Amino acid sequence: MTLTPIPLGTWPTPLEPAPRLAAALGLDELWIKRDDLTGLGGGGNKVRKLRYLCAQALEAGATRLVTTGAAQSNHARLTAAAAARLGLPCTLVLRGDPPETHRGNLLLDDLTGATIVWAGAAPLDEVAAAQEGYVIPFGGTSPVSARGYQDCARELLAELPDLAAVVVALGSGGTMAGLVAELGPHRVYGVDVGALPSPRATVASLLADMGRKVDPAALLIDDSQIGAGYAALTDSVRSALVLAARTEGLFLDPTYTGRALAGLRANPPDGKVVFLHTGGLPGLFGHPAFP
């Protein structure tokens, strides 16, 4: 299928050395791929996916974008920002009930003018299907949108040809699938954040749909940082947030990148390591554990 992605952001994103953090983690060499600096709506990995998803939507004649997520969804925020950039209205179907105040990503959703529909305990996909508009999948993840992280993998290979490992948060699975499709399963370490019931099966299924058959057992997935669940903050993640800030002035979030760094700290690979910063900083200001 030929699909020309919409630019939406600034490419390639920077690749920066992190020698002080590397020393603190006991790594020989650490680089940060700054996909938090993708340029749209506060940045983050979802912009690479939305380049393809929005191209699909426009090709289908969409006049409104609809998507789903948790209350502090980075994907929802960036879908709303992409819709604003394209001159389209947007509806966000969010899990649960409305909070007393809008903080973090919710505040930014409001600024874009997005319509927020609270799903309560109802299934998000059912509520989304009842809305008027073109529905973009949960987390922006599909075999088409995962091409955005094949693009990222190609950038990394051009910037650091002898990279040994890429460490990334594993949420809805598309980011990891795109990286594995280009780099192979032996160089991509996914740190599970607890968003999926079967992340290994999900990533393998996405890869199969992309024409890349990978044995699910070959995927390098670390589930040691989930703790009490997706929305919970663990001591190891809090410590990782502090470490990144105090060694490199690098700010992470408590759900995705904080878990990814905690996983890297617990199980450091050998060789030249890339930590993929997938963004999500607004979620720090909306997390119940902060301030």
pLDDT per residue as tens digits for the range 243-282: 999 999 999 999 999 999 999 999 999 999 999 999 999 9
Could you state, in order of their start, the residue ranges of all structural domains in the chain? Answer: 15-44+142-286, 46-140
Q: Is pLDDT of 1 > 90? A: no
The whole-chain average pLDDT of the chain stands at: 97
Q: Is 197 exposed, middle or buried (0-12, 13-18, 19+ CB in 10 A)?
A: exposed
**Per-residue b or e along 53-69, where b marks 16 or more CB atoms closer than 10 Å to that residue's CB:** bbbbbeeeebebbbbbb
pLDDT value of position 47: 98
Q: Is pLDDT of 151 > 70? A: yes
Decide if 15-44+142-286 and 46-140 have a common fold: yes
CATH class of 15-44+142-286: alpha beta
Question: Cβ atoms within 10 A of the Cβ of 211, count?
Answer: 8
The model's confidence at residue 2, banded by pLDDT at 50, 70 and 90, is: confident
% of the chain exceeding 70 in pLDDT: 100
Q: Average pLDDT for residues 228-241, to the nearest whole number?
A: 95
169 three-state secondary structure: strand
Q: Average pLDDT for residues 189-218, to the nearest whole number?
A: 97
Between the alpha carbon of residue 95 and those of residues 68, 120, 121, 127, 128, the distances in Å are 8, 6, 7, 10, 11
Q: Average pLDDT for residues 32-41, to the nearest whole number?
A: 97
Residues 144 and 57: their CA atoms lie apart, in Å, by 12
Q: Would you say 41 and 284 are in contact if contact means Cβ atoms under 8 Å apart?
A: no
Catalytic site positions: 73
CATH topology of domain 46-140: Rossmann fold (3.40.50)
CA-CA-CA-CA torsion sign (203, 172, 52, 67): positive
pLDDT value of position 140: 96
Structure-derived torsion over alpha carbons of residues 31, 177, 181, 276, reported in degrees to the nearest 10: -10
Q: Is 78 exposed, middle or buried (0-12, 13-18, 19+ CB in 10 A)?
A: buried
